[in-house]
Amino acid sequence: MPLDISAARPDPALLDLPWSTPLKDWPADRLAALPRGISRHVVRFAHLSGGIVAVKEIKAELARNEYQLLRQLRRLDLPCVEPLAVVTGRTDADGQPLDACLVTRHLQFSLPYRLVFSQNLRADTAVRLADALAVLLARLHLAGFFWGDVSLSNTLFRRDAGAFSAYLVDAETGELHDRLSTGQREHDLDLAQTNIAGEMMDLAAAGYLPEELDPIEIAHDIIERYRGLWQELTGDEWFDAGDRWRVDERIRRLNALGFDVDELAITTDLDGTHLRIEPKVVDAGHHSRRLLRLTGLDVEENQARRLLNDLDSYRAAMDRQGDDEALVAHDWLTRVYEPTTRRIPPELRAKLEPAEIFHEILEHRWYMAEKVGHDVPIEDAIADYLREVLPSKPDEQSVLGTDTQMLPVVDKGEMR
């Protein structure tokens, strides 16, 4: 059987990869030293056309199905890795068949959960990861995606203004429907609680989980956060006809969670004294879309919220509340944001994304001002941050030199 590469945008460089060699035996000069999570399949990162791709060895039917699912999720603007190609018809040097490969683009600045915890972060890291995974699962369920294997191992995390954003990295067991039933959602939640508890127990046994955190409680907390978010996104709310302000309050709460309300269903009961509000067609990315529209910056949701807050502060400081928002945003971009990010030395730019560095500089400026008891010029905060803080941070653009599969694992159990 001849080698077959199926790709929406074929890259000729794919032909240069050693497809006749089992993935576990690929030569080191082809590979990139990136952190890998725990997986039942062989996964390797390889250099391709100046970038990095993830290659997973898997049965051909599963590879094709996952490739199509990931493409559909990308079209729905859901956070997941980008599928590049499916390679089938592989044979080794003796003509023996090899499994197919799914090729996806490496998600820059992303971290497997085990690497996040191995960095000895604060205890609230687990809370922030729980929030990120709950939001990801809610977004997928709203779109009708049944995951079938919810776990931290199947998720990548990117820093997002002090929090995290979660991305689906493994859709092998997923199914896309017009709408999920309650039973399908509950099945995903049951799997999530079991898998996450096991993953947290593994971290605790390896000494990476802060002692004050209980693995079972963390898994339960993620489910409870999901349920609260799902109720906020989809639940009915009854109130008296005179309390119409609660319609605006509901929209504001959803916006604060990073979701837009495209439509609302408002109905009255039989005697006309009560109203019911139900959000319809709820989507995520309220702040990131607004920032993209105003400035062209495409960043994570919490980063966008922080940058918009700084834009609003700039607008007030310049006494330009009455000016066109787009004009003020352009001035802020060219006079504040871009000059700040240009100050980052080339050798430090792989540490964090520019938007995350800008957020951290704002935080650093606040701490400096609190320490000295008065406002600190932004130029001083930039200089101090670049000198005292950023150099000590690990490179997260590709997190070279650490393989999370090599971190101690006591009992994988149901872990992926």
Please tell me the predicted confidence (pLDDT) of residue 195: 93
Residue 402 pLDDT grade (very low, low, confident, very high; cuts 50, 70, 90) = very low
Residue type, 169: V
| CATH topology for the 110-234 domain | Transferase(Phosphotransferase); domain 1 (1.10.510)
CATH 3.30.200 in the chain is located at 4-108
| CATH topology for the 4-108 domain | Phosphorylase Kinase; domain 1 (3.30.200)
Location of structure tokens 């994988």: 412
Query: Per residue in 151-167, pLDDT tens?
Result: 998 999 988 777 788 99
Dihedral of CA 228/229/235/239: which sign?
positive
**Is the entire prediction scored with pTM above 0.75?**
no
pLDDT at 186 > cutoff 50 = yes
CATH 1.10.510.10 in the chain is located at 110-234
Query: Per residue in 79-96, pLDDT tens?
Result: 999 999 999 999 998 999
**Beta pairing partners, 263:** 280
Query: Per residue in 301-345, pLDDT tens?
Result: 888 888 988 888 888 888 887 888 889 999 999 999 999 999 999
